[in-house]
Amino acid sequence: MNEAEIPIDIAAGKLLDWLISRRIVDKNWHLHIRNIRNKISNAITDMPEHDELLQLLSGAHINYFHCLRIVDILKTTEADSKNVFGRYGSQRMKDWQEIVKMYEKDNLYLAEAAQILVRNINYEIPGIRKQIKHLEQLSEEADKKVEDLERSEKVVMAEYQNMCKQLGVTGTNLRQELVDKVFNDLPGMLTKVASSVAPLKKTVELYASFMNDAECLTLLKHVLAKGNTTVYEFVYGEPPLSIEEPPVKFVTEQQQEAADDGGAIDFGDDNGGAIDFGDGSGLDLDAPVELEVGDIDWGAADEGADPALAGANDGNVIDFNISLEESGIVVEEDGNLGGVAKGDEAFTVLDAQQYRDRFVNDLLELQSFLKMRLHQLGSADKAQVLAFAIMDNFKDHDEKTVASMLAEVEVVYAGVTDELLQHLLQIKHSPVYVDILTSNVKQKLTSIDKMKETALMKREKSVSFKQQSVELKPTQTKIVEQTKTLQGQIEKDISKRYKNRPVNLYGTNL
């Protein structure tokens, strides 16, 4: 193979070291570049108007090859200043020709070009690519976050709608709707629970027979016999004459605002603050005190008077022969019959917390008994069946019947532990609970609003990241093209120094 055809392969990242090792450039070349850069900075301030010049000067770092092209352009623009000896009188041309000569001394241009090439390959282009990739990644993450927020928003909205559905409200005026349900719906719900107890009569009798205790399930038996009566009637066994249930007071939003606005104390001192004792005149402490003393009538007859006449003349004589009916006196019976139910005794047994808990406990006790009995009936263990052989004395309680009884008990239990019923009872007995419940429900709407705001912000950021990425791509393309051009110029220059042998700069990753 001809020597001229043997290529010269140079690692692009080691180009400057390769030039120094072959003494093409001096190792202290960078000490002389500062003067050239200062000269270029001064020359740029005085340039003719030319489209290609504007493009060159507005581009990347100006190097030796740019200066050569600027000199070629100035030969056209400064042609009028050329004399007969072929020299230019224009200061612009002189400045740029001097810059070219300074570059060519000791091959400084080649060292600077190699440095620019290495910097572009190792830092500039990878940095822009990394930045573009990072912006695209941020945009994708923002879009993904928006999708997650939209999903979460739907979930929270479904939870809000479900809560409103469970509470039986529309959510338009949540607090007022809950208060209205306490007065309008709660009594009917308690009555419905009490009426659902009726099918448990046979079940209660079965359990009482098993326990051989007439006092078991007292509250459940009471509701079964008399319904949802007052606590007074359950305690004393007699209905009250009247019921004075403690009033339930709720502070409306208007009243709360009025209370906040009218927090100042009104002392009623519109008359200037003077205290009026109502005496009409001054008090004379030296005046004598006069007391009127009257005779006391002890109702005793005169000693010498006739008793018969005395009785006739006195209109206040007691007649002991008048009957109770004629006198209008009502004698109450023994016990509490005809009493007034006040305080907690005025609530119904399913309304009062203490007695409602006892009612629930009775249901759980009955439920546990039926589950155990159902397990015994379905068990094949003869020893276990014999252990509870006493239950065989009771009829009509086969496995199917017991399962039906258990289902009836669970219906009553589900009714009395209904979530809406529990909320309404809490609101009635603790008015502040309505604010807590309302706040918990409205918190869902607040979360939805925050999610919408965050999603909007993320969407805007995603658009911004995409826009920045798009704006960086032309810059990347331009730097890559300039680097490729510079690579070709360096390969061509080195090739001239080695008898035009082909030169390849590898590892540029352009």
Q: Is residue 308 part of a domain?
A: no
Query: What are all long-range contacts of 316-320, with beta carbons under 8 Å and residues at least 24 apart?
Result: none
Count structural domains, the chain.
Answer: 1
Q: Helix crossing, 64-77 with 108-119: angle to 10°?
A: 120
Candidates 205, 206, 246, 198; CA nearest to 224 is 198
Cα gap 319→183, rounded to integer Å: 54
Beta-sheet strands, E only, within 127-270: 242-244
H/E element holding 126? helix 125-167
Higher-scoring residue by pLDDT: 350, 55: 350
Assign 483 to helix, strand or coil.
Answer: helix
User: pLDDT-based confidence at 459, cuts 50/70/90?
Assistant: very high
Q: Is residue 195 part of a domain?
A: no
* pLDDT of amino acid 305: 46
Higher-scoring residue by pLDDT: 261, 353: 353
* pLDDT of amino acid 5: 80
The whole-model pTM stands at 0.61
* pLDDT of amino acid 25: 92
Average pLDDT, the chain: 80
Candidates 113, 3, 11; CA nearest to 500 is 3
Looking at this protein, which amino acid is placed at residue 320?
Answer: F
Q: How far from 413 is each of 37, 195, 419, CA to CA, in Å?
A: 92, 13, 12
Higher-scoring residue by pLDDT: 159, 244: 159
Whether the per-residue pLDDT at 57 is higher than 80: the answer is no
Assign 309 to helix, strand or coil.
Answer: helix
Q: Is residue 74 part of a domain?
A: yes
Cα gap 241→332, rounded to integer Å: 12
* DSSP letter (8 states) at residue 120: I
Assign 504 to helix, strand or coil.
Answer: strand
Range 493-503 average pLDDT: 91
Cα gap 483→124, rounded to integer Å: 10
Range list of H helices, 62-90: 64-77
Whether the per-residue pLDDT at 458 is higher than 60: the answer is yes
Q: Is residue 292 part of a domain?
A: no
Whether the per-residue pLDDT at 381 is higher than 60: the answer is no
H/E element holding 37? helix 30-44
Please, are residues 214 and 176 in contact by the beta-carbon 8 Å criterion?
no
* pLDDT of amino acid 17: 92
Q: Is residue 487 part of a domain?
A: yes
* The pairing of beta strand 8-11 with beta strand 242-244: unpaired
Determine what percent of the chain is predicted with pLDDT higher than 70. Answer: 77
Range 125-148 average pLDDT: 94
Assign 341 to helix, strand or coil.
Answer: strand
* pLDDT of amino acid 206: 85
Cα gap 221→349, rounded to integer Å: 12
* pLDDT of amino acid 217: 87
* pLDDT of amino acid 242: 85
Whether the per-residue pLDDT at 487 is higher than 80: the answer is yes
Q: Is residue 197 part of a domain?
A: no
Cα gap 76→69, rounded to integer Å: 11
Would you state the structure tokens that stand for residue 476, as one six-digit string? 């990347």
* pLDDT of amino acid 108: 93
Angle in degrees, CA 28, 33, 36, rounded to 5: 150
Q: Is residue 314 part of a domain?
A: no
Structural domain boundaries, residue 77? 8-130+482-506
Cα gap 159→268, rounded to integer Å: 52
Please, are residues 399 and 342 in contact by the beta-carbon 8 Å criterion?
no
Candidates 65, 77, 67, 78; CA nearest to 41 is 67
Q: CB neighbours of 380 closer than 8 A, spacing ≥ 6?
A: none
* pLDDT of amino acid 456: 95
Considering only 28-37, 75-84, 108-117, 326-335, which range has the smallest mean pLDDT?
326-335
Whether the per-residue pLDDT at 215 is higher than 90: the answer is no
Q: Is residue 121 part of a domain?
A: yes
* pLDDT of amino acid 179: 87
Q: How far from 9 is each of 15, 47, 303, CA to CA, in Å?
A: 10, 40, 159
User: pLDDT-based confidence at 309, cuts 50/70/90?
Assistant: very low
* pLDDT of amino acid 428: 87
Assign 151 to helix, strand or coil.
Answer: helix
Whether the per-residue pLDDT at 270 is higher than 80: the answer is no
Q: Count CB neighbours of 505 within 10 A.
A: 23
